[in-house]
Amino acid sequence: MRHGPRFIDLFAGIGGVHIAFTNAGAKCVFASEYNERARETYIYNFKKNNPELFEIARSADSAEMPKFYGDITKATALMRKGIDPIPDFDVLTGGFPCQPFSQAGLRKGLEEARGTLFFDILQILKTKKAAGKPVKAFFLENVQGLLNHRSGDQLTIQVMERRLKRLGYTFAVYKVRASDFGVPQHRPRLFLIGFFDHEAAKRFVSPSKKKLRKGTLSRILGGSVDREIGWTLRVGGRGSGLHDRRNWDTYLVDGIPLRISSVHGLRLQRFPASFRFPPTVTETQRMNQLGNSVAIPAVQAYAEALLKALAH
């Protein structure tokens, strides 16, 4: 029986990558997100259209086998014991935690617990390959600070590249700005993409940039704004004000300072109009979740290109 491309959504946040890859034609068959409030938002928005993702199967010995994990390390721990709780899939996606590599974090990289989550990605790829069902491609997202971060005397990105190539994957790094894909915020990011089939890698074509429509930021904020491209949404540190060099959440709209809300944040990340936060999630938590999320059009453009390369 033929099926469309399947992907897993690791470090899923509130589902920006989920939406992007689903829009590109793939189906999510497994996900994980550690933060409890982000999990609530994820379930609130995706359970209706993808109920199978939230079912809990049982193994031969009656152990629970969820498809939506809170802690991905529990799944990879089972893999190390010879038990594979993850359904077979085609593309691994993951916006793995960026704090270990960002200017806002301690920049400890792979030495920090969150940084070692990269090795859980490797474990999943390794397990599927050993079972004769190698994952066809991966899409990883992180901050651009990753490029200059060092693990000991080596660049962290080089350690990652070497480990992935050792498993048989190609490895390519793309510098992407959300504003290059019609989103009115800078949001510079790295997309790390690789294929198990090296011919598919040759077929991959980076998507063309899309012109940002004039006045988009003004429409989102409901008045005339003195800039075309907004600040990059961040996690925490709100309320610094217009004249603070760290300001990212306050704009001059029709000459009056406006501190953006989660309603604006959803639009800045280009979440669909149907997307909602559950009532249990506070405004501060909503802004944090949006700051941790992705600019959907940028991810979707690369998702479409990736799936097209696999389709031949």
Cβ-contact 118, 146 below 8 angstroms: no
The pairing of beta strand 188-195 with beta strand 137-142? antiparallel
Reported as half-sphere exposure (CB side, CA atoms, 13 A), residue 4 has a value of 12
Q: Which of 20, 29, 65, 98 is catalytic?
A: 98
Whole-angstrom distance, CA of residue 109 vs CA of residue 149? 7
**Which of 271-280's residues contact partners 24+ apart within 8 Å by CB, and which partners?**
271/16, 271/19, 271/296, 272/19, 275/19, 275/45, 276/44, 276/45, 277/41, 277/44, 278/40, 278/41, 278/44, 280/37, 280/40
| Contacts of residue 263, Cβ cutoff 8 Å, sequence gap at least 6 | none
How many angstroms separate the Cα of 188 from the Cα of each of 125, 235, 297? 27, 15, 13
98 catalytically annotated: yes
Using CA atoms, how far apart are residues 298 and 216, in angstroms rounded to an integer? 16
Coil, strand or helix at 42: helix
Taken in order 222, 224, 229, 234, is the CA torsion positive or negative? negative
Residues classed as catalytic:
98
